[in-house]
Structures are given as C-alpha cells and as structure tokens.
Amino acid sequence: MNNYYALINRITARPGKRDEVIEILLEAGSPFQDNPACLLYLVNADARDPDVIWVEDLWTSKEAHATAMAAPPMRPQVARALPLLVGMPEQTEIIPAGGKGL
Amino acid sequence: MNNYYALINRITARPGKRDEVIEILLEAGSPFQDNPACLLYLVNADARDPDVIWVEDLWTSKEAHATAMAAPPMRPQVARALPLLVGMPEQTEIIPAGGKGL
C-alpha cells in the first residue's frame, strides 16, 4: 500500500458551528465521489467533544490529493469554512500498513 | 450512517517497536476480514512520529465491535502488544457523518 497518501484531519469548529462545517466538508467532498483517486473521505463528528470533527482521507497518491485540493470548486468551500473554525485543521500524514476495507 | 460505530486509535510504541506492534495489529485484525460487521480496519504509521500508529475502525454497531474485541483469539495479541506500548492506546469515538468510501 506504499504509494497511497493518507491523512487524519482534526478540525475544531467555533462553538455551535460544527454542523455547518460538516455540511461544508461534505459538499466540498462531493466531487470526490467521481474521482477514482479518492479511496476514502470520511467526515466524522467527535462523540465527546461537541466542537471537533475528524476527516479520514485516503488517496492513490499525494499528487492526486494535491490536484483535487487545488481544483477551483474547492476554494469557495475553504473560504466559507475557515471563519467557522478555531485555528487551522491539524493534519497528520499517515502511511497505510494494511487492514480491512480497501 | 447513524448506527455505525467508529474509532480513531492513537497508539505509541516503545522506541524501535513500532513495526512489531503493527504486525501484531494486522494479525489481530485478520479475523475481521471474514466479519461483515467490520467495515474498515486500517492500520497506519504516523509519517512524522516514528513511534506512533493510527488505527481507523468502522463497525456496523458498537455491540459488533465489542463482540469482536472479546473473541478469544484477541486476548493473546493484546497481551503481546501491551508491553511494547508507551501507555494505553488513546481511543477517540467518532460519529460518521458521510463522505466517500462506504
């Protein structure tokens, strides 16, 4: 699974804004449905912290991810989301080793 | 996606022991391949921190996950892994909201 590019993103919304941020993240990711380079894009709410969102990303390559992020439809979504966040997303790059689900 | 049970596990291995822990995690998860209640079990190495492992879990229900964790083959694997870890795994329960890959 060595060429894959995977990320865990921890995003903190301003109080009361998590649902709105989740909607933006789901809209922003809707083009990924038709992008075969995107293997996984899961948006999750933290079960304990009412402001935290976790996004799990898996792409066929780092370049494919960068290309998708640079696509014109992504920019207005990012511009909408950023004022609703506390700080910037914490992005952790991870290297898939195996398991189930691919 | 409301009944699903999802977790992000952050595990810290003792220095030099990460590969061994990853092997144990992959072996421990091999029965999940035949368990339809397990939708995702991805074992990942942190790309920056040489001791950290991230496991992404998605199950059809909390009960199905608990049943799989309590299965007899799991216990010796846990017993093998624990002495190789720093502290206990940090388990974050998350609530899937949508995205791609299921």
Name the residue facing B41 among A29, A56, A99 (closest C-beta).
A99
- CA proximity to B50, closest of B3, B12, B10, B94: B12
Confidence of residue B41 (pLDDT cuts 50, 70, 90): very high
User: Which parts of chain A register pLDDT below 50?
Assistant: none
- The answer to whether position B100 is within a domain reads no
- B42 assigned to some structural domain: yes
Tell me which residue has tokens 């922003």.
A28
Could you tell me if residue A47 is inside a domain? yes
Residue B23, min C-alpha distance to chain A (Å):
9
Q: How far apart are CA B99 and CA A30, in angstroms?
A: 7
Say yes or no to pLDDT of B1 above 60. no
| AA identity, residue A77 | Q
Whether residue B84 lies inside any domain: the answer is yes
Task: Tally the domains of chain A.
Answer: 1
Per-residue pLDDT reduced to its tens digit, A9-37 = 999 999 999 999 999 999 999 999 999 99
CATH at A26:
3.30.70.100
Please answer whether residues B59 and B4 qualify as being in contact, where contact means their C-beta atoms are separated by less than 8 angstroms. Answer: yes
Q: What is the pLDDT of residues B53-88, one digit of tens each?
A: 999 999 999 999 999 999 888 888 889 999 999 999
The pTM for the full model equals 0.94
Q: Which domain holds residue A13?
A: 5-94
Look at residue A78 in the predicted model and tell me its pLDDT: 87
Is A99 domain-assigned? no
Contacts with A, B 8-37, CB within 8 Å: 8, 22, 26, 29, 32-33
Angstroms from A50 CA to nearest CA on chain B: 11
Helix, strand or coil for residue B33?
helix
pLDDT tens-place string over residues B6-34: 999 999 999 999 999 999 999 999 999 99
